[in-house]
Chains A and B, each alone.
Chain A
């Protein structure tokens, strides 16, 4: 699914913000990514959703070495990766339905068929009454669910979420985590970046911990407690 080998990343001529990363995300796995602010979580996620190529080392995504994959071959790979951004990045002038439908449009899906699918998914995440609402009229939690629906609408193989519970209260955060678990059970590989240690501790999944640009893979917090 996703494999990093001796990956290093620097911006321009600056210092390396990620060093010697070695890990694998197996298909169907569920991981947390944690670390202090500035540890490099967002940069690591950008490498995963192909917003950057590594400065050194090998990044394999869906069996392709990203360093040598032609640029024209990247869009289909990106369409297999769903991303929930920390700030949602919903398009303000589009409705909830239109935002969620974007990945399907990129894939050239038939509009009439997909609209029903989009409405069904938004209803599933509890937004049946806000299908045609603009993002600015929705609460933070509602926007988050639109962002999640957009990330999963075309059933991605890999789902990356950057602080998906950062803007919601604990109850909604737990419900969102259950939503991610459901998606994981349907076969999607999930990686959640969060520094909500309490929340992470409630789930039995392995943790990738970033410290000063270096990565440690540790067992689940709950597993350790047990």
Chain B
């Protein structure tokens, strides 16, 4: 049946735009990897922010165990009465010994060691407890008491993670701009190659939208081809990275595998590539046609 499978313009004979699917594939691959990096870093930052920043540790020097125990009880009472504190629990000696074991070995369980008493404090999510003021108050009960507020050092790490996340998103945006520029170049090239036929269609009464639709359709086919190739490659790479990273147990290193929600977000990348290619091709052709009488 005429016209159902063939376009008016012989795009399949067009050497100048044959490279486009490969470039789209590469851009989709790079954009998907950058977006995946942004998602992984974002998840890590959220985890650190929501997890560790909701806790603090209070240390009571253990110069005299009886005195320390009494001070511990008083400090626990004070902490539990402090607004923003959900719970305050002393760490058992065995738990403290387990924390020290990597550095001290079997000696960590030695009861003669002057190990400070530790109190694990859980804070209300979002609570902004002033650790300096709290430390001053606690010092009135036990001199030398120290508060380890993870937020102090964690905030720097989270800021760094946010910057990395923004940088990755910036890369995605820049790749998008590059895709637009590439499609403009390819479309203009195709327009010049097929100018005689375009002019003929124009003088025969074809509307601009009819001619633009031909380029838009071609951009869609090429974008789909490239987008699919790029997406499959990116998915394979990310799955491979997730597979090899599954057993990494290092503290603070976020899991490198993606969850279903993140895969869903990444699926937007090739779809966006197709939409960008179609829209750019259409606008480029409409602008070029506007210069014709």
Residues of A within 8 A of B293 (CB): 50-53, 71, 74
What separation, in Å, do the CA atoms of A98 and B2 have in the docked complex?
6
Asked if A50 contacts B8 (CB within 8 A), the reply is: no
CB-based nearest B residue for A105: B3
What is the distance, in angstroms, from A66's C-beta to the closest C-beta of chain B? 10
Pick the residue among A78, A81, A91 that contacts B8 (CB under 8 A). A91
What is the distance, in angstroms, from A76's C-beta to the closest C-beta of chain B? 7
What separation, in Å, do the CA atoms of A61 and B8 have in the docked complex?
28
CB-based nearest A residue for B203: A51
Q: Report whether over half of chain B's contact residues are helix, strand or loop; otherwise say mixed.
A: loop
B207 within 8 Å of A by Cβ?
yes
What is the distance, in angstroms, from A100's C-beta to the closest C-beta of chain B? 9
What separation, in Å, do the CA atoms of A52 and B3 have in the docked complex?
29
Count B interface residues, CB 8 Å.
20
A4 within 8 Å of B by Cβ?
no
Residues of A within 8 A of B8 (CB): 91, 94, 102
Count A interface residues, CB 8 Å.
33
Binary B-proximity of A31-66 (CB < 8 A = 1, otherwise 0) = 000000000000000000111110000000000000
Binary B-proximity of A82-121 (CB < 8 A = 1, otherwise 0) = 0100000101111101100111011100011001001000
Q: Which residues of A contact B (CB under 8 A)?
A: 49-53, 71, 74-81, 83, 89, 91-95, 97-98, 101-103, 105-107, 111-112, 115, 118
Q: Rank and list the top 10 A-B pairs by shortest CB-CB distance, nearest first.
A: A79-B205, A78-B205, A93-B10, A98-B2, A106-B206, A75-B205, A75-B207, A106-B205, A89-B200, A97-B2
List 9 additional contacts besides A77-B205, A106-B210; criterion CB under 8 Å.
A78-B203, A83-B203, A93-B13, A95-B2, A98-B6, A102-B204, A105-B3, A106-B206, A112-B1
